[in-house]
Amino acid sequence: MERRVRNIGIISTRIAGTDGVSLEIRKWTDVLERNGYSCFFFAGEIDRADDKSYQADLAHFRNPDVKKINAHGFGKTTRPKEISNLTRRIKDKLKDSIDDFIRRFDIDLIIPENALTIPMNIPLGLAVTEYIAETSIPTIAHHHDFYWERDRFLINSVGDYLRMAFPPNLPSIQHVVLNSIASKALSYRVGVSNTIVPNVYNYASPPRRTHSEILSKLRKEVGLEDDDVFILQPTRVVPRKAIERSVDLVSQLDLSPSCLVVSHASGDEGTDYFERVQEYASLMNVRIIPIDNLIVPDHYEGDFPENKYTIGDIYQAADLVTYPSMYEGFGNAFLEAIYYKTPIVVNRYTIFISDIEPKGFELLLLNGLVTKGTIDSVKTILSDDSQRKQMTDTNYRVARRHFSYERLERILSEIIERF
């Protein structure tokens, strides 16, 4: 008799903090564990319970040797032999660590989270691919960002590695993507069938309301009074987020003070763009207020640090969310704003047009630029409590219908049953 799946191993470069992949891992874990599965974690950085975690420093994309491989792998067309040798050595060490992880926790099925998708850690992707090929372990490869969707990966000296492992085409892998466009691209480029699983949120469980005193304290922390307009950009500061559009919006609203609060740091893409946004905001008389140092994850365990806030607190303090991205794999921040019932200004990026807009949300929309019509609509929503409530309540109902934990539950159950 074949053994049923009980223990699931989730593998990634980092399973910690508030980046999109880590947040989605948390949601998948919630859904899997409430259905009787036990989840365990393998990564270079982990903020989950120690008795369920296996930390391998070489798995992190910030490991010095991994960064060295990336420096020679992208933006160049020739790879030195020493880099090939280094890649193989790290790959072999990681494969041994993966084997130890799977034996230690008696893993029945693995879920590589973006580790077989975007080549932030090439040796990790190669190690996971070889392990799957050698063992045929049941695998759900959860893909968030493919390398062909990022300009910085297109010129490279590692095409052989990319074709092998990002992602691999192996019979024991079920592939999962976030949106319909990625689904078509994966089928075309790699020749594999796949399942679309959008980002989700637990809409069946309404958010914990943050006490007004905490919200007032947070506002003062960022330099705003209770009556000032708090506009939130709930993303990393990277070029594809097009934060200049948010600056334009704030500038044209003619607020006093004229501020844009940014929740996340630049991350792995450097600080050049953040410096550019700061310069542009200064020209437009808008102050950028970074608050990534104030935020801890919603699931923070232990004594809550003084003068720290959850992302839920941040959304509830905000009067308006700006989401002017040029590209998104799906849109975690969009779902978060809907969950916390904060009005949101959205640029109509490709995935939004194809997979989100047809669902029937009521939103403040941009078509690539901020117009007078946009400004008028935003001013109306900020000043009309009744219309704002009607909009956010409608959006919550639509999101619960299409992007809930229950939908994820049904899809994951069907995928696991195939094994």
Q: Kindly report, residue by residue over 350-368, the tens digit of the pLDDT.
A: 999 999 999 999 999 999 9
Domains contained in the chain, number: 2
pLDDT, position 2: 45
Average pLDDT over residues 5-21: 92
Domain at 193, CATH number: 3.40.50.2000
Question: Is 142 in the same domain as 249?
Answer: no
pLDDT, position 268: 60
pLDDT, position 195: 97
Domain membership of residue 160 (yes or no) is yes
Question: Is 192 in the same domain as 313?
Answer: no
Q: Kindly report, residue by residue over 149-204, the tens digit of the pLDDT.
A: 988 999 999 999 999 999 999 999 999 999 999 999 999 999 999 999 999 999 99
pTM over 0.95: no
CA–CA separation, 38 and 24 (whole Å): 17
| Domain span including residue 135 | 7-200+404-418
Question: Is 145 in the same domain as 27?
Answer: yes
Q: Which tokens belong to 186?
A: 């994966």
CA–CA separation, 334 and 208 (whole Å): 18
Domain membership of residue 270 (yes or no) is yes
CA–CA separation, 143 and 117 (whole Å): 5
Domain membership of residue 1 (yes or no) is no
Q: Are strands 320-323 and 344-347 parallel, antiparallel or unpaired?
A: parallel
Question: Is 27 in the same domain as 79?
Answer: yes
Question: Is 229 in the same domain as 143?
Answer: no
Centroid of chain to Cα 195: 18
Question: Is 350 in the same domain as 409?
Answer: no
Question: Is 148 in the same domain as 283?
Answer: no
Question: Is 48 in the same domain as 167?
Answer: yes
Q: Kindly report, residue by residue over 95-130, the tens digit of the pLDDT.
A: 999 999 999 999 999 999 999 999 999 999 999 999
